[in-house]
Amino acid sequence: MRILVTGGAGFIGSHLIDRLMQQGHDVVCLDNFYTGHKRNLQPWMGHHNFELIRHDITEPIRLEVDQVYHLACPASPVHYQYNPVKTIKTNVMGTLNMLGLAKRVKARFLLASTSEVYGDPEVHPQPEEYRGSVNPIGIRSCYDEGKRVAETLAFDYHRQNDVDIRVARIFNTYGPRMLENDGRVVSNLVVQALRGDALTVYGDGSQTRSFCYVSDLVEGLMRLMNGNYIGPVNLGNPGEYTILQLAQTIQQMVNPGTSVKFEPLPQDDPRRRKPDITRAKTHLGWEPTISLDEGLERTIADFRDRVTPPTSQPESVASF
């Protein structure tokens, strides 16, 4: 099968390409390298089944493929807020272009949407039926509302043009190949701990998140793509942790001598985040298998190879 992965040089996209290549598919990776890196694709460079195209999906492109995994879009607040107009153009114009491609060649199309469509939720945990509580003019709305429009486009192309779609709502995902500077909580805390810096917790740390290891997520995406269920379907780990709990766990695993510092909570930061994965269990036979401790060990090991440790420990620190 010939499969297109947009954003394939990124964190999740490159892990997905690993699986697809291992299964023997012909894979086309489309990426403009805004947050993706060629090093993530190094094992497949020059492979006869792999093709890498540098392209910005806000511009049309003609390709012949059987499936489209549409993952292209910066997903961390640091990157999507750096150029919010570009972010929403990627979500709207980019999704239009990829749906148009899928329509022309009759390819199955999977949209990587996000738990951010639920905003700061008033329902907990979040089922797919919940319509969300999103600020349409906030600093996060270029991503949140952009993904909501992308879902609208996918379902309208399905209803109007009979495009075969799948929609996944991805919750917090972590693992090897995360960027050191992507602003996500796991990478932030791990990098700070490895460098001997104080671990930054925003607010009082009572806000919650659910953390899914990347291999579990990729398995869910592939089951959704190759199954009969359209979605939307939540893909995430229902284990719920406060940010302070996560910081303390990483502190003990990496560097118990580091301190924890508290900073003001960012605007529109969700207070709670936990997926209801009943649909995924029912329609995909999927649920996460990697525990947080195991996933963090693998993630920390990957960062150790890339992060320069401190030359000396701080003289005086407070720890939990």
Closest residue by Cα to residue 191 from 257, 264, 259, 254: 254
Residues labelled as active-site residues? 143
CA atoms within 13 A on the CB side of 172: 23
Among residues 68, 27, 17, which one has the least CA distance to residue 51? Answer: 27
Token output for 26? 């012909």
User: Using a CB cutoff of 8 Å and minimum separation of 24, what contacts does 96-99 make?
Assistant: 96/153, 97/57, 97/58, 97/59, 97/60, 97/61, 98/6, 98/57, 98/68, 98/70, 98/72, 99/153, 99/154, 99/157, 99/163
Match 């001598």 to its residue by tokens: 257
Is 252 in contact with 187 (CB distance < 8 Å)? no
Amino acid (1-letter code) at residue 23: Q
